[in-house]
Amino acid sequence: MLKVNLVVFCVLVVSVCGKNVFDQITKKGDTIIKEARTNRMIRECSCDEESYCIGSIKGEVFDCFEDCWSGVKSITDQPDQLKQCLKDKAYIIDQIINCLHEKAQSCVPGMDGPEIHYLDINKIIKSADTQIHVQADKFTKTLPSSAKDLLEAAVTVGTCVKECFQEKNKEGYCFDDKKCQPKIESKEMRSALKKCSKELEWQKEAAEMCDCFFKAGVNRVQQYCDMIHSMNRHKIN
């Protein structure tokens, strides 16, 4: 679930910052997990349960995304076209989630999984949100004034999605209903995140999204699109 929230944020800003902010956030994963771990024990989820809950979480996040989309009106007069740019890249989320599901070894085949330490999901969300804002603030200082409102719009939408998602789950999350959680160990998750991040063609995805943003009326991204295309051509050569 943490990964879903981070990816939503990265998809919003990928045409501006590529994977740099994403990399910085995921490096904080060890601290986030340690702060969320409790002394309470819970059963490790079966892979079927994990898949079901991840699907449920994705649905809730995307519903919230729809409700929060008005936050981008400050950067374009074609918000519906811009929304379609992001919807067309939704497969990035599935790609990362499927990769993590395969590489993180966070579930067991059956319903008789071992007892593991319970993670406070609200603490995970709070810590991740803090890191997103810290990294966004740092990155904003390196941006020209013409691009700062793009990042600000992304953070505004992301914050709205977070609050909406938490409101939907104020009585408990899907994993609480299943009385299980995925096993998230810092070392395994860090390794999985690194491998899954490498499998994404960040510059290609960024170039395509940047072009789409430009066509959707976000004219000031053109200089970044040109830069990304230049980097891609240099990489090929």
Question: Greater confidence, 143 or 81?
Answer: 81
Residues ≥6 apart with Cβ < 8 Å to 30: 186, 190
**Lowest-pLDDT range, 8-12, 34-38, 191-195?**
8-12
> Per-residue pLDDT tens for 120-131?
999 988 988 888
pLDDT at 163 over 90: yes
Report the 10 Å Cβ neighbour count for 80: 9
**Lowest-pLDDT range, 57-61, 131-135, 218-222?**
131-135
Report the 10 Å Cβ neighbour count for 189: 24
pLDDT for 56 equals: 94
> Per-residue pLDDT tens for 19-61?
555 555 566 777 888 889 999 999 999 999 999 999 999 899 8
